[in-house]
Every structure is written in C-alpha cells, then in structure tokens.
Structure 1
Amino acid sequence: MKITTRIALGLFVLAGLMVAALAYQVRTVNQLQGITDEFSRTSVEAAQISILLAQELEGVREFASKSLVLPADSGYVAQWETWEEAVTQDLARLAALDLRAGEQAAVQAVQEDWDRYLSEIAPLRMASELRPADDGLFLTLDRIDELVDGLRLGVETVIEENQAWVAQQAQTAARVGQRATQVSWLAALTAIGLGLLICVILYLSISGPLRRLTRGTREIAEGRFAHRLPTGGKTELSALAEDFNRMAARLDEVEEMKKDFVSHVSHELKGPLAAIQETILILLERIPGPLTEKQAQLLALSRQSANRLSGMISNLLEISRIEGGGLRLDLGWVDPVELVQDVVGEVSPLSRAKSLEVEVTVKEEDPVRGNGTQGPVFPISADRERLQELVGNLLGNAIKFSPRGTTIRIRVQGLTDWPRPLPGRVLSRLRGEEPPFLLLEVEDEGPGIPEGHREGVFQKFYQIQRGVRREGQGVGLGLAISRNVVQAHGGAIWVREGSSGGAHFLVLIPRVARWARAAVPGTEVLPDVLQVRGEAGMAGAEVAP
C-alpha cells in the first residue's frame, strides 16, 4: 500500500470517528433541548397554575365564610363569586395542558372535587337569605372547610406529580449528559489511540527506508558507488530506492570507466615519460656534447617538471591500485621518531629552497588533556614504506603551501589513553580500536583549510579553489592516499585550524590495529605481510601467501 494511501486511510478513519462523535453529540443536545422545551412549556406552567389554584381556594374559603357570617355585606358575596370563577378558569387551563398520566389523574380528581363543591355550596350563594340557622351555620362552614381542604390536597397532589416528573426528567438529563461525557472521552481516547497507532505505522513504514536512504546517500557521497538499497513493495519509497539503485549503478559504471581510463592512461604515460626523463638526464650529463648555461637551465626545468609529472602518475597508479584490489601492507615494528626524521632529511632540499624551518618535537605531555596520559613513543606495527609515504605527503603539502621563511612543526607522541576531544567522525572511524595510540601532528603557517573543505580534502581529485594556482600544486591525490594508508592501519586522520591560522593535520594510529589482532592473536607477534582488502582496510585483513 502506498504511503499516501495509508495517510489518506488513517485520516479517513479519524474523520469518520470524529463525525460519528459529533453526530452523537448533536443527538444528545437535541434530546436535552427537547427535555428543556417540554419542561418549560408544560411543567413550569402547570406548577404556576397549581400554586395559583391553592391561593384561589384560600380566597374561596375566606370570602365564603365572611359571606355566610356577614350576609348584610354584599361585597363579600361578589368576592366569593370572583374567587370561584378564578378557580374554574384555572382548572380549565390546567386540564388543557399536555400533562403526564399521573398529573392528569390528579387534575381530574381536583375537577371532580370542585364540581362537588359547586353542587353543594353554590346554591347558598344564590339564596336570598344567605345566613342559615345558627345551628346550621357551623355545619355549613365545616363543610366548606372540608371541601376546600380536599381541593387543596388535590392541588398539592398535582404539584407533587409535577415535581416528581421534573425530578425524573432531571435524572434523565443527567444520565444523558453523563453518557455524552463518557462517549466524548471514549471518542477522544479512541481518536488519540488511532492517531498514535497510525503515527507508529507510518513511522515504521517511513523511518526505516529513510534511514537506509540517508545511509545510502552518505555512502554515495563518500564515493562507495557499489552500495545498494533493498527494494520491495509498492510504496513511493520503494520506487525511490529502485531509482537510487539505478543511479548508483550508473555512477558505479562511470566510476569504473574512470578508474580504467586513469589506470590505462597512467600506464601508457609512464613509459614515454621515463624515456623523456632519461633523455633529459643524458643531455644534462653532456654525453651527446657540451651545453650552454641557458640550455642547461632549461633542461633542469624540464627535468623538474617531468619529475613532478612522474609523481602525479605514480599517485594515480597508487590510488587505482588501492581502489582496485586492496592495499598490501608489509607489517613490522616501526620507530615513528626515526621514520619522521628520515622523511625530514629526504625533503630538506625542498624546505631549504623556501627557507623553511622544519621543527620536530617528541612531546612529553598531552596538550589536549594535560592529565598525564602521555607515554613514551613506542614502536608501532605498521608498513614502514606506507607510513613513510604518509609523512612525506603531509610534510610535502606543508612545504608546498607554507610562505617563505615560516616554520613547519611536527610533533610525535605516544598516548596511553584516548585524547579528548575528538570529532564525532573520528570516533566512528576508530570504533573497536584500543589504546595505546601514536599521535602525529603536522602544522604549518600557510593559508589553512576553510572549515567547509576539511573533510573534502581527503577525497581524491579534491582541490580548494583559491583563485591562483600555486606552483607545484598536484591533482588532489596525496591526502586521499594518506587517508587510505591511515585507515588501513586502523587509524584516523583529520585537519583543523592551526595556532597561526595554517593547516594542522592530526593522525591517530593504534599501536596494533584491531583487524591485525584478529588476524593473528597476540600483539607482539606479527606476520611479515598482510593483505588489506576493501576500502581503507575497513573490511578486514588476511595473511598473504
């Protein structure tokens, strides 16, 4: 299922749940509104009329008594008649309401009692002589009280029925509200749960392919074009992985073509260049005949250019050999201080030509930590020729980019613990290695390397565009070869800004690389030759036959 389809389906489910919850809430609101309307339309009016009836019955009682006791006052009789008419009208209004069965029965009972009252007491009001005999007066008054009390009880029954219905409706409304609250919470929790479930499903379906794509992009950016992403499924990320693999395959094909081209061209150039060098050397030795001073100077310049071109071709062949089948290491115990001093002696003509001072320091303390982790500079298991090539490349770069009359500082130090701090990428490359380490530093006073280029300079053919090409500047392979040599020995190389603004290269190499310990148990006994396979020896090692 496509990712967009999953997202749309998840949103549809959430929307359906919210619509269902909303519909239930609307139904609940309508139900509560119906209860409220019925209460306000019927119950309140019935209660008001019932209370009014109770008051009117008391008026009937009062003025009936006064009319019988004081028949000479005709005003009492009129008031008596008015109160009776009010009771009759309000009973009719009450009976006309849409009442519940219990209330209707109570109202019917009150109506019957009122009819009985009218049939018994009303004729007295019509008589010409209202006052009965003294012995009958009290009986009449008692009868009026009895009938009015019965009516009052009936009205109170109506009020009680009304109140009971109101209480019942209030309970119903409370239950409806409580149920609505529960449904709302349930809908909210269900929506949250579904939302989290959808997020987890989407995360699991997207994060893994994205991590693999990120890792694959990093591999391609670092030049490992053989990397492929797993494919499968019908999602957009699967299609992207397939396109990525096609792109990587094409880049791998182009890279192989470039390697073959560089290797073949380098081999083809090596023969004619050797012939040119030999011819120039014969001419400089004046074997064919004497040379003028100008001719000798021009031939010396030609020989210098030929030697530089020969170095470039050697670097091209070296990087092709490393990438093609592995880096062969002839391991042995190497004294780093002695090796550095030998390299300094070899390049001394170049440094003297630019009036450069090369300062070699065997450090007695660790400036990074300064906490006693320094140790003696011990021999390390390494290929002396490769290590010499590494130091030569770093020192050659420093000479090439240092202004005249400046100082190049080389520091050699043995560490019994990890130096701090270390860049994250350096720590990742040293994963699995153990102290002790050799720390080699080469610092110059040149223009330095901008921060955005400090990782790229270790890639092949990488050059920093500074506007002016420097004399003797190569094709950008020396540092790439140096990184391969360092990583083949289980170490890491990086660059930072020097104390004077120049480039400060640091090389950290374990005394014995992890893969060498795994290939031959025991760090004190090493084979004569190890073949390092894969890029920078990261794939392991085996003893060569």
Structure 2
Amino acid sequence: MTLRSRLALGFSLIALLLGVPLVLALRALQTSALAVDDLRTQEMAASRLIGQVRATAMELRDADKAVLFVPDSGESERWMLESAQRLTTLADSVRPYGLHTLAARLRHSGHTIQTYGQIEWAAASDSNPALADRVSTQHILPAIEAVERSAAEAENSLAVRAQERVVRTSGQSREALQLAATLLAAALAGALIVAIWITRTISRPVRDLELGMSAVANGDFEHELRIAPSREDEFGRLAASFQSMASQLAELDKLKAEFVSVASHELKTPINVILGYLTLLEDRLYGPVTDKQLEVLATVENQAQTLSRLVQHLLDVSRFQAGAARLEPRPMSLRGFLTELEQTFDVLAMQGRVTFTVSAARDLPEVVTWDRDRMNEVLANLLSNAFKFTDAGGRVELTAAPAAGGDVVRITVRDSGAGIPAEQLPHIFDKFFQADNQSASAHKGSGLGLAIAREIVEAHGGSIGVESTRGVGTVFWLVLPLVSGQPTPAIEPAVAIRDGGPSGGRALPVGAGRA
C-alpha cells in the first residue's frame, strides 16, 4: 500500500469514526425534539377542548336558569338544546386524545339534557314551576355537574399523562446522550489508534532515513536501513535510492582513498630526490655556491620539507581510513618520554618568549606500552599548535597524571593563546578543517594534523578532546590505556581538564621550565 493510500485510508477511518457518533447524536436530538413538539401539540389541544367543555357546562347552567325564570321566550330552550348538542360534538373531539371517559360522559349528559331540557321548558311554559324545578334539580343540574367532574378528572388525567410523557422523553434523551457520549469516546479512541498507526508508519521510516543520511554524512557508507527496498511504497523506493547512493559514495570514497594513497606515495619519491639534491648543492658537491644562492636553496628546502610533511600526512590519513596503518607499541619510560618533549620544545619556547612547563603526578606509571614515534607525533603536533597560537608572554603547559584508579593516563596540553570559537570545536578533528584562529598564526597548517592525532590516539584505544574559550586559551586532553589497544573507561572531560586527577598525586616538574 502506498503512502498516499495509507493517508487516505487513515483519514477516511478517522472521519467515519467521528461521523457515526455525530449522526446518532443528531438523530437522538431530532427524536427528542419531535417528542417535545408532539407533547406540546397534543396536550395543548386536549387542554383547549377541556376548556371548551367547561365553558359549555357554564353555558348550560345559564341556559337552565333562563328556562326556569324566562320561559316565555323560545330562545332559552334553543340555547339549552344547542349547548347540549355541543357537548355531544365535543365528545367526538376529545376521543382521539384518549379521554374516553370524558367522551362517554359528554355524550350521555348531552342526550340527557336534550331530553329533559324540553320537558323543563314545557313545564315552565305551562306555568308549572314545581315540575320545571324538579326536572332541573333531578336531571339537568346533575348532568351538568357530571360533565364538570368528568372535565376535572380528564384534566388531572391529562396532567399525569403529560408528566409521564415528559419523564419518558427525558429518559430517552438521556439514554441517547449517553449512547452518543459512549460512541464518541470509542470513536476518539479509534481515531487515536488510527492516528498513531499513521504516525508510526510515517515517522519510523522517516527517522530511519534520517539516521541513515546522518551516518552517510559522517562517512559510514555501510549503514543498513531497517526499511526493506522491496517495500511497495514511497519508502521502499527511497530505501533503494539510499542503498544505491551509499554504494556509489562508498566506491567513490574508496577510489579517492586509493588515489590519495597512490598519488602521495608517488610524490614522496621525487620530493626526497629534490631534498637530496638540495643537500648536495648546499654541501657544494657540484661547485661553489654564493651566499645569495644558499639563501635561495634554504628557502626551496623549507618548502620541499613542508610538501614532504603534507604528503606524509595524506599517506597517514589514507592508511588509517583503509585500516592499513600499523602501530608498533613497545614498553617505554613515560617520564623519559615527557623529558624528551620538554627538551625538544624548550628552544621554541625561548624563541617565542613563552613560558613552557612539563609536569607529572607523583604516582604516574613509570612504563607504558605505546608506539613511541606515533605518540611523539601526536604531542608534538599539539605542542606546536599551542606555541603557534600563543603570543610572547603567554604560557604553555603539558601535564600527565593517572586516572580511573591508575588504569589510564591523562595528558593535557594547555595554552593561553587565541582560542577556538565554540561553534567550530565539533569540527576541529575533521580532515582539512582549519579554525578561524589561523590569522593568529604566522604559518597556516594543512588541516590534517589533528585528524591524524585522533586516528593515532583511537588506534591506541584512547580518546582525545578539546575545550577552548576565544581569547582565553585552549586545552587538549588525551586519555590513553597503559597498554595500547586496551579499552579505556569513560572519563568526564571537564574533570580531566580542571582537577589534578583522581589519584590525588601532586604534580611535579619533569624538567626545569623556561621562559
């Protein structure tokens, strides 16, 4: 299934899950509204009919009085008969509203009043008030009272029935709302599950691709994605493209390393020949040389030496990358090694008028198993950089102390020079990278020295790091096992730089520092 199809399916499911509770809630509200309308319409119509029944009963009382007291006119008789007929008509009207008792009473009372109303009027017209009064008392008025009682009972029944319908409608509304709320909660849960599914199907492959690109950017061309290139979606095609890109970059990197190695190796021989002939010329083996010519030859020799060092650095980098660089670790006196470094750089310190000190902790191990030449290359590079970026009157310090209970040695090179910008520190060990502090140096480097230093230290099983503040100075620190190749425990860099070491041993000068 393609990514577009997944998104379309997921959004459709979410819309469906959220739409069903909405439709059910609308239906429940519609049913409640219809029930309320029906209740209002029927109950109000029934109440209006009961009101008409009451009004008709009052008219019959007035008509009965008119028959008794005004018998001469036929209007009173017609009024009574029409009112009685209206009762009969109302009986048919109230029956559809379920008021059957009232309907029967209205019909019966209407017939009774029609029958005895004529007798009452005839007696009153014949000047027989006693008979008319007896008919009214025994037949007409009881029928009217029966209508009024039935109307009152019907009104009470109607009120009870309305209350029951209100309760029933309210219960139905609550049930509908509860059902809608339950369905909505279930829909939200389902929508959340679908959203998580969509997110995971997208975020995981994206994260995997991100990690893969980061690995390739860091030079790891063998990184394998967890995304199968056979997937039939966009991520599968991206994974296939990533694999093809990584393979091509790996091949290109291999060709580059081979080219650098071959080119550097081929350049090394003619450079050595040039240096050899320059030495012969300076020794006047080919005839006399003037002072001016000696000056020119010295300049050419310096440049050739610089080119030779650059070629050697390129060879070292290519060998370490190819895993072909070999270390030759041998037991060596650590204090003697530090003493040689101090003697080597004393002259440079005096020339630059820089205070230079080398110190070691009392409990520093006497013997370590390192590649002496390679470690000399590393520390010489760090010290050379320190002197290069430290002005006259500044300070350069080399300290050595045991760490991690004596299992490793920590060496720091501290200077009070130009410092390195914080944003450039993460790249300081990258090949060909040169910090912005190069302007503080009279001679710019190639950008390979620190990269090679890191390779050598890591080949020994150690680690190297740096801390620096612009305008204050820089501290490079090395953590090395006593025996090359042994794993080193993790050490907090800040602790390694700021304190005198976990051993607590007091640092002592290896040799006399000079300014």
Calculate the TM-score normalised by the size of structure 1: 0.77
Cα 1:79–1:31 shift into 2, 3 Å: farther
Q: Does structure 2 retain, via aligned residues, the 8 Å contact 1:106–1:157?
A: no
For residue 5 of structure 1, what is the aligned residue in structure 2?
A: 5
Aligned amino acid, residue 253 of structure 2? E
Of 390, 393, 399 in structure 2, the residue corresponding to residue 411 of structure 1 is: 399
Residues 288-345 of structure 1 show CA distances to partners (whole Å, capped at 9, x for unaligned) of 3333222222222222222222111111111111111244333455554443332233
Of 201, 206, 219 in structure 2, the residue corresponding to residue 205 of structure 1 is: 201
Aligned amino acid, residue 245 of structure 1? Q
Aligned amino acid, residue 386 of structure 1? R
Tell me whether 1:464 sits opposite 2:462 in the alignment: no
For residue 117 of structure 1, what is the aligned residue in structure 2?
A: 112
Write the distance in 1 (CA, Å) between the matches of 2:270 and 2:461. 38
Cα 1:271–1:80 shift into 2, 3 Å: farther
CA apart distance, 1:265: 0.9
State how 1:471-490 maps to structure 2 within 5 Å: 471-490=442-461
Question: 3-state DSSP class of the match of 2:287?
Answer: coil
Tell me whether 1:313 sits opposite 2:311 in the alignment: yes
Q: Does structure 2 retain, via aligned residues, the 8 Å contact 1:483–1:493?
A: yes
Aligned amino acid, residue 96 of structure 2? L
For residue 383 of structure 2, what is the aligned residue in structure 1?
A: 395
For residue 178 of structure 1, what is the aligned residue in structure 2?
A: 174
Aligned amino acid, residue 12 of structure 2? F
Write the distance in 1 (CA, Å) between the matches of 2:350 and 2:107. 136
Q: Does structure 1 retain, via aligned residues, the 8 Å contact 2:63–2:79?
A: no
Question: 3-state DSSP class of the match of 1:143?
Answer: helix
For residue 223 of structure 1, what is the aligned residue in structure 2?
A: 219
Cα 1:118–1:471 shift into 2, 3 Å: same
For residue 14 of structure 2, what is the aligned residue in structure 1?
A: 14
Q: Does structure 2 retain, via aligned residues, the 8 Å contact 1:95–1:107?
A: no
Aligned amino acid, residue 38 of structure 1? D
For residue 191 of structure 1, what is the aligned residue in structure 2?
A: 187
Tell me whether 1:32 sits opposite 2:20 in the alignment: no
CA apart distance, 1:401: 2.7
CA apart distance, 1:264: 0.9
Q: Does structure 1 retain, via aligned residues, the 8 Å contact 2:77–2:118?
A: no
Aligned amino acid, residue 219 of structure 1? A
Q: Does structure 2 retain, via aligned residues, the 8 Å contact 1:412–1:439?
A: yes
Write the distance in 2 (CA, Å) between the matches of 1:23 and 1:10. 20
Cα 1:79–1:53 shift into 2, 3 Å: farther
Aligned amino acid, residue 6 of structure 1? R
Q: Does structure 1 retain, via aligned residues, the 8 Å contact 2:80–2:117?
A: no
For residue 372 of structure 1, what is the aligned residue in structure 2?
A: none
In structure 1, runs of 5+ residues without a counterpart are 365-374, 418-434, 519-545
Number of residue pairs the alignment of both structures matches: 486
Tell me whether 1:508 sits opposite 2:496 in the alignment: no
Question: 3-state DSSP class of the match of 1:127?
Answer: helix
For residue 358 of structure 2, what is the aligned residue in structure 1?
A: 360
For residue 147 of structure 1, what is the aligned residue in structure 2?
A: 143
Of 122, 137, 155 in structure 2, the residue corresponding to residue 127 of structure 1 is: 122
Q: Does structure 2 retain, via aligned residues, the 8 Å contact 1:414–1:438?
A: yes
For residue 247 of structure 1, what is the aligned residue in structure 2?
A: 245
CA apart distance, 1:98: 8.8
The CA RMSD measured in Å over matched residues stands at 3.6
Residues 80-133 of structure 1 show CA distances to partners (whole Å, capped at 9, x for unaligned) of 987886676577467447934x33x33531331232232244225533627866
Q: Does structure 1 retain, via aligned residues, the 8 Å contact 2:17–2:191?
A: no
For residue 492 of structure 2, what is the aligned residue in structure 1?
A: none
Question: 3-state DSSP class of the match of 2:96?
Answer: coil
Q: Does structure 2 retain, via aligned residues, the 8 Å contact 1:59–1:80?
A: no
Cα 1:155–1:305 shift into 2, 3 Å: same
For residue 414 of structure 2, what is the aligned residue in structure 1?
A: 443
Aligned amino acid, residue 432 of structure 2? F
In structure 2, runs of 5+ residues without a counterpart are 490-515
Cα 1:43–1:413 shift into 2, 3 Å: same
CA apart distance, 1:213: 2.1
Aligned amino acid, residue 394 of structure 2? T
Calculate the TM-score normalised by the size of structure 2: 0.81
Q: Does structure 1 retain, via aligned residues, the 8 Å contact 2:361–2:401?
A: yes
Residues 190-231 of structure 1 show CA distances to partners (whole Å, capped at 9, x for unaligned) of 222222212332333233323322322222222222323243
Write the distance in 1 (CA, Å) between the matches of 2:83 and 2:217. 101
